[in-house]
Amino acid sequence: MLSLIAAAALGPTVFRLWTGGAPGALGTGDDDVPTLTLYKADSPCGTAIVVCPGGGYGGLADHEGSGYALYLNRLGITAGVLKYRLGSHGYRHPCMIEDAERALRLMRTLASEWKLDTHKVGVMGSSAGGHLASTLLIHFHAGNPTAKDPIERESSRPDFGVLCYPVIDMGQWTHAGSRENLLGKNPSQALIDELSNQKHVTAETPPCFIWTTADDAVVPAQNSTLFADALVAAKVPVELHVYPHGSHGLGLGGDPASDNLLPWIGEMKRWLGENGWLRPANR
């Protein structure tokens, strides 16, 4: 049988998050099977990132998934693009966070064969994917050391987060489509509060890099500033960039192989390096 590393050399490797059906699965079709697609760097630095694409919890934007993964590979980072279950296919919270937690745990179980450091596993998300990533940053769980499933023994706490024009709030500043797809048409106030992630930051929340644009007409910049303010109040390290102009869903702003990308890319690369999540000679 071809080893995982040999398979990775031939292209991305797709892992089902659960060998059987996912918890709460509505069927057995492709839309019901969450996966993690791993893109391995040629010269891995040991860091891995679970990438949560945006799409309003109703779709998955490829440029915020595989596009990011290919760029992260240039930095020596192994990237796993999460295909999580969606509101457009009948799923609601907590299915999405269950998928994200499982993906983070799965990444840690792959550490030995994929040359990863289990203490350098982060999460990255854009727009609604940023909401899912921020949910994982605050609603993580320790592993169960007595679990029969080795994946469930791992912690789902990310070591850091990268949030790109994220949805954070489910109240005043939310993106209405994301909220409906995640919580349904008439969520309770308790559920709105539970998933308004700025309200649940603690000193245990991992450090974050956040960026947005001041004139984003889809997801207001207040989502990012609210989360950053909460991190500051909890004394959690955070770097926030609010660029004056730019439409929503910008992503990299170009081909992942290009050096002519949006300014946030250079800032993120510097931040990752300063915090020890890149190899010393990163490109």
pLDDT tens per residue across span 208-230: 999 999 999 999 999 999 999 99
Alpha helices in the chain (DSSP H): 4-9, 66-74, 95-109, 111-114, 128-138, 176-183, 189-194, 222-233, 263-274
The answer to whether 151 touches 102, Cβ cutoff 8 Å, is: yes
Q: Say which residues have a Cβ less than 8 Å from residue 108's Cβ, sequence separation at least 6.
A: 116, 118, 121, 154, 155
The mean per-residue pLDDT over the stretch 170-191 comes to 97
C-alpha closest to that of 94 among 81, 85, 82: 85
The mean per-residue pLDDT over the stretch 114-133 comes to 97
For domain 4-18+30-273, the CATH superfamily is Alpha/Beta hydrolase fold, catalytic domain (3.40.50.1820)
Q: What percent of the chain has pLDDT over 70?
A: 95
Q: Say which residues have a Cβ less than 8 Å from residue 152's Cβ, sequence separation at least 6.
A: 105, 143, 144
pTM over 0.85: yes
Residue type, 21: G
Angle, CA 10 vertex, CA 109 and CA 82 arms, to 5°: 45
